[in-house]
Amino acid sequence: MLEETGKPPNQYTKDMGELIKKAREESGLNQAQLAEKIYRKKMAVSEMENGKVEISAWTLPFLAQALNKPISYFFPPNAKRNLQPENLSELEQELLIHFLNIWDEHLQRVAIEQVKVIADFDPHGMIRELIDIETNEKERQQQIKNYLEKKCKPKGFSG
């Protein structure tokens, strides 16, 4: 691969830079804002977008998260040619087949968003949150009960 690309800037780094810039603009961020989100300087983002540097494996996840894109988004189309069906698991193949059978691009985007939600789902976090809600509700009910007991106690007769 080194023979193909050579040192940056090269076609690969330029194509990757264009994808980064496109995703940044779609996200409504300027270079300084993106730099802050990926723990880099604005100049580093500029160099990435201009294809002057190779993007490290450490930077890609930060880019993906900051720009709400899968890591694979940042690989230029010519880099994705090595994706072979035999390298996919049976479940991945099944998902891809069903996705490709969705006839409408809008519905494909809906499917992608649903998969993202499922991928981000944290059942343990949900359980912790429900426990906190239930605990807070019981505490609130006890406070109301205590308040009503204080206010509704019959007053003693003095006599």
Domain boundary among 30, 61, 82: 82
Going by pLDDT thresholds of 50, 70 and 90, the confidence category of residue 3 is very low
| 58 and 104 housed in the same domain | no
Does the structure show a pLDDT above 90 at 21?
yes
Residue 64 lies in a domain: yes
Look at 20-34, 59-73, 82-96, 98-112 and tell me which has the smallest mean pLDDT: 82-96
State whether 115 and 43 are in the same domain: no
Task: Answer yes or no: do 134 and 102 share one domain.
Answer: no
pLDDT, position 154: 65
Residue 11 to residues 55, 76, 115, 118: CA-CA distances in angstroms?
13, 9, 32, 36
Q: What is the pLDDT of residue 159?
A: 47
pLDDT in tens, 30-87: 999 999 999 999 999 999 999 999 988 889 999 999 999 988 888 887 666 556 677 6
Q: Is 94 a residue whose pLDDT tops 80?
A: yes
**Model pLDDT, residue 44:** 95
Domain span holding position 75: 2-82
pTM exceeding 0.85 = no
17 and 75 inside one domain? yes
Residue 79: alpha-carbon gap to chain centroid: 22
Report the 10 Å Cβ neighbour count for 99.
13
How many separate domains does the chain show? 3
Q: Rounded mean pLDDT of 15-39?
A: 95
Quick one: 65 and 27 in the same domain? yes
Nearest-angstrom CA–CA distance, 44 and 35: 7
